[in-house]
Amino acid sequence: MAEPLERLTNLLALLLESRQPLTLQQIAAELRGQYPTNEAALRGAFERDKSVLREVGVPIEQQVLGGNQAGQTAYRIDRRRYELADLDLSDDERQALQLAVAAVRSDEAWGQEGLWKLGIGGERPSRAVAATVPTFVALPPLHEAVAAKATVEFVYRSVERALDPYGLLLRDGYWYVIGRDHGHDDVRTFRVDRIAGSVRVGVGSSFERPPGFDIRLVFPSDPKLLGEPENEITRAIVRIAPTRAALVAGEVGAAAVVQRFDDGSIDVEVPCVNRDAFRSWVLGLTDHAVVVAPAELRDDIVEWLTGIVGVIS
């Protein structure tokens, strides 16, 4: 019997070359001597080969025949769907893609596999800049669904969701999918690494993205807001001690510095969309930051700290 690789290659070539769909009996006859003759063993071996080809990415189509072959399943590969579209990349564009993949670290080798198909290979060039892009099995189907405008279904926080995905965003090291949640009939954001199990992709062209949609603007500024409606934005004034002034000014931007004092401390004006997130940011600076205004936010922090002291003493 032929080596598995040889039989797979022959099966693939046969289905690519054939002008009409072939039944399993026809396939076994063409590849004689390569499949078991026993009916059950033949079917088992063929199913394994078929799933290997699908795993590799080969689009095998199947249909149930009519006429004198009624009820039998026949298989074919559409060459146009099998072959890579010509991207018409120039040499410098190929090189740029190679550098891009080399600069990005991922857990999976998907990028390199893709490069080979585009005719790009060889040793990975080393670079002085690099980014880590996390990968999850949920990402490719979500991406496909965004491109095809297909509704997806998945389980998130133990709840079954149906979502029209508008886009994917990598921010702060996490991937998010954003779209219209059917259950809430509203735009919601989900962390991709928290999607439990598989993502089911529905039929294409089942929704339209809102015109002018920009994922960066829709994204809630704080993970605590995920799946929550947007709150009103309050502006807070925070006094930053001299030892942290440069650090915080670098973080929030020079435009947010509203006052500079002789001792080197500064006042910065920062948005507070979500109270928990704001408190978390201010307290991360411990006694180097004091909320000056509004009184409501200042009191909130004082109350929070008093609570911590009170419980223990």
Show contacts with other proteins in window 240-299 (CB under 8 A): 243, 246-247, 250-251, 279-280, 283-287, 290, 292-293, 295, 298
Shortest distance in whole angstroms from residue 273 CB to other proteins:
15
Residues 13-32 that bind other proteins (CB under 8 A): 13-14, 16-17, 30-32
Under rule CB under 8 A, residue 309 binds other proteins: yes
The Cα–Cα gap between 274 and 47 comes to 53
Under rule CB under 8 A, residue 235 binds other proteins: no
Q: Which is nearer to other proteins, 64 or 174 (CB)?
A: 174
Shortest distance in whole angstroms from residue 67 CB to other proteins:
25
User: What's the length of the chain?
Assistant: 313
CB 264 within 8 A of CB 240: no
Shortest distance in whole angstroms from residue 165 CB to other proteins:
8
Shortest distance in whole angstroms from residue 311 CB to other proteins:
5
The gap from C-alpha 270 to its chain's centroid, in whole angstroms, comes to 30
The gap from C-alpha 109 to its chain's centroid, in whole angstroms, comes to 16
Shortest distance in whole angstroms from residue 8 CB to other proteins:
5
Q: CA-based Rg of the chain, rounded to a whole angstrom?
A: 29
Under rule CB under 8 A, residue 78 binds other proteins: no
Shortest distance in whole angstroms from residue 71 CB to other proteins:
27
The Cα–Cα gap between 156 and 183 comes to 12
The Cα–Cα gap between 77 and 12 comes to 8
Q: Which is nearer to other proteins, 70 or 85 (CB)?
A: 85
Shortest distance in whole angstroms from residue 203 CB to other proteins:
14
CA-CA-CA-CA dihedral for 11, 16, 19, 25, to nearest 10: 20
Which secondary-structure segment (H or E) carries 50?
Answer: helix 39-56
| List 5, 40, 70, 255, residue binding other proteins (CB under 8 A) | 5
CB atoms within 10 A of CB 282: 23
The Cα–Cα gap between 275 and 289 comes to 16
Report residue 95 as tokens: 């090189």
Residues 171-190 that bind other proteins (CB under 8 A): 171-174
The Cα–Cα gap between 89 and 107 comes to 27
Question: Using CB under 8 A as the criterion, what x/- string covers residues 35-54 for binding other proteins?
Answer: -----------------xx-
Under rule CB under 8 A, residue 1 binds other proteins: no
The Cα–Cα gap between 105 and 163 comes to 29
| List 38, 41, 73, 119, residue binding other proteins (CB under 8 A) | 119
Shortest distance in whole angstroms from residue 80 CB to other proteins:
9
The Cα–Cα gap between 132 and 169 comes to 14
Residues 126-155 that bind other proteins (CB under 8 A): 126-133, 135, 139-141, 143-144, 146-149
The Cα–Cα gap between 71 and 122 comes to 49
The Cα–Cα gap between 156 and 236 comes to 34
Under rule CB under 8 A, residue 233 binds other proteins: no
Under rule CB under 8 A, residue 108 binds other proteins: yes
Q: Which is nearer to other proteins, 117 or 260 (CB)?
A: 117
